[in-house]
Structure 1
């Protein structure tokens, strides 16, 4: 069973939303909430990135350790020179996987490394932490009639397993789109976003993607849909703003509030 966070983490009233205006400053909550209301009002099709907006997949199973193990596995096979020093120090296992794919595209090496990463992700599900407010947000959005999908660079089997542990499968199934062995199709390529939109019968103007990385923003932009950034710390918020995200939330609580307002007014 996936562990639940202990207690709530309070976010001050000025940290709920920030925008990428000219000064990159936090805007008043009332103004920011109105921007959020507009995004949510238009969104009949909502695409969630998985690791970040829905959960912290590697909360109890370090992503950095997985990346180190990937590098060690390559070195044990005499492939030390396949990665640069910078790539060997990369704490993101997806970055290591991409680097190998650039050098050996479509090779058995890439297939095996991707399968090893999938197994590590599946192991991580048992200690993943739900993102605060994600579960009720998903259930509420589904209850008010939105069509939901997961669009992730993680394995779709991993997202499916996690959602099952939270009782959220019916909110998304069968619309869970993730990493394939064609690694050049990982976000920021819009492949998984376009697959979701096509399967949902979604129109771009009625769609919204929620993500926590510039690659999520890039995929949403390439697919022509609105984007809402989720950043659990200021470093992530800064990176998203610099990438061009116009609305970034540091908590999912205000989204839930807007949806509940809408439900009460219907």
Structure 2
């Protein structure tokens, strides 16, 4: 057993409560409608409303629609524009749910781990209604009684630990027995601030390098690795 596998086994063994990011560890939410297309639509909408000057060039070029959304919010807090854009993105996220692609091994891992007594919540920067709709489409609603996502107050998006702390409170969990599974540096930072352990999921080498550079100590390239740990005799 490698040192990394030993650390993974230790994380899994100590996790009574697991907080899951949605887009990445559970599914590729934008598999059927790429996120960069939605990000481009959002920027065009901001331009058409005459508010394009609110965005930096980096925000305009990002493949992540959350980047432009957050940019508008930071420079125009509490505005009707910010609320309208957040509602628009929520509708788009709901639209893509039917074409979302399950992350390999996510469904069997969720069912297996849940059957062994782990308690789950979703803590995502996507809209909670979209997360709940995806989970329902996979028949996993019973595994996720708690779903926390983006609110109109975009200050509360990860890396803010708000959604993690809300989930921990609702589950009656303790941070020392809680694990966050995420695929972004914002997930890692939120986990640190909430005082919970972190397991990185990276579907390719560049994402793994990004997570490790951010300080993630344990990163898996496939959820099959976690499933194998659960199925191994202790």
User: Same fold by TM-score, threshold 0.5 exceeded?
Assistant: yes
Aligned equivalent of 1:241, options 208, 212, 224: 212
Moved more, 226-235 or 75-84: 75-84
Report which of the two has the higher share of helix.
2
Q: Tell me the SS of whatever aligns to 2:8.
A: helix
Distance in 2 between residues matched to 1:255 and 1:148, nearest whole Å: 15
- 2:161 is equivalent to residue 221 of structure 1: no
Once the two structures are TM-superposed, the CA of residue 73 in structure 1 deviates from its matched residue by 0.7
- Inter-partner Cα distance in structure 2 for 1:33 and 1:89: 38
| 1: CA distance, partners of 2:56 / 2:225 | 42
Cα distance in 1 for residues equivalent to 2:89 and 2:26: 19
* Residue aligning to 1:17: none
Alpha-carbon distance between aligned partners in 2 of 1:165 and 1:211, rounded to the nearest angstrom: 21
Structure 1: which 4+ aligned runs deviate by more than 2 Å?
A: none
The offset of 1:79, in angstroms, is 1.4
Count how many residue pairs are aligned between Structure 1 and Structure 2: 234
**Which structure 2 segments of 5+ residues have no match?**
none
Asked if residue 67 in structure 1 is aligned to residue 39 in structure 2, the reply is: yes
Superposition deviation, residue 205 in structure 1: 1.1
> RMSD of aligned C-alpha atoms?
0.9
Query: 2:231 corresponds to which residue?
Result: 260
> Normalised by the size of structure 2, how large is the TM-score?
0.98
CA distance in 2, matches of 1:103, 1:32: 42
Matched, 1:193 2:171: no
Larger Rg: 1
Is residue 2:111 matched to residue 1:145? Answer: no
Query: C-alpha deviations, 1:67-108, integer Å up to 9, x for none?
Result: 111111111111121212222111110001000001111111
Q: Equivalent residue for 2:88? A: 116
Within 5 A, what are the aligned runs for 1:47-196?
Answer: 47-173=19-145, 175-196=146-167
TM-score, with length taken from structure 1: 0.86
Q: Distance in 2 between matches of 1:85 and 1:148?
A: 38
Residue in 1 that maps onto 2:202: 231
Gaps of 5+ in 1: 1-28
State the 1:126 CA deviation: 1.1
Choose the corresponding residue for 2:177, options 206, 229, 234. 206
Deviates more, 1:104-113 or 1:82-91: 82-91
| 1:218, distance to aligned residue in structure 2 (A) | 0.3
Most deviating of 199-208 and 48-57: 199-208
- Asked if 1:38 corresponds to 2:10, the answer is yes
